[in-house]
Each structure stands twice: as C-alpha cells, then as structure tokens.
C-alpha cells in the first residue's frame, strides 16, 4: 500500500488510526508514516483490528472533527 500511495500524483492527507497493540496494523501504519503527509493516530492498549468499539469510548468525535476541520 505504501508504494502505491507514494507514487500517486496527488496524495490526500492520511491519518491512520489503529490499535497500538495490534502488531500487524502498527507495522503497516509505521511503514506508511515514512511518506510525507501521513499522520499516525494509535489507540493505546487496543489490540483488535476492529477499532470502532474502542473509538466510541476514546474520543471518536475528536477524530471525526479532524476530517471536517478546515
């Protein structure tokens, strides 16, 4: 995924939110973070790939505001 994104002519800003304790997701996010414009947003203590439940109790609204802020 990182190679394809890096080659894109116009890259959108990316914020990768993932469970910090999920090794595969963390490694993929850290790999992507080597590219300019990628921001990492790990959720401490979350091991599950499905992070929606964790987001509900840990600041989903603030993360959603990132998408809509100017």
Q: pLDDT (tens digit, 9 = 90+) per residue, 24-57?
A: 999 999 999 998 889 999 999 999 999 988 888 8
Q: What is the pLDDT, as a whole number, of residue 5? A: 81
pLDDT of 59 > 80? The answer is: no
Number of compact structural domains in the chain: 1
Q: What is the pLDDT of residues 2-32, one digit of tens each?
A: 888 888 888 888 899 999 999 999 999 999 9
Indicate whether 70 pLDDT > 70.
no
Q: 34: domain range?
A: 2-68
Does pTM surpass 0.85?
no
**What DSSP assignment string belongs to 7-62?**
H-SSPPPEEEEEETT-HHHHHHHHHHTTSTTEEEEEETT---S--HHHHHHTTHHH
């Amino acid at each position: 995924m990182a190679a394809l994104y890096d080659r894109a002519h116009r890259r959108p800003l990316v914020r990768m939110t993932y469970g910090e304790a999920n090794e595969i997701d963390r490694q993929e996010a850290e790999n992507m973070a080597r590219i300019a414009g990628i921001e990492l947003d790990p959720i401490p203590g979350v091991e599950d790939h499905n992070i929606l439940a964790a987001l509900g109790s840990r600041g989903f609204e603030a993360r959603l505001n990132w998408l809509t802020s100017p």
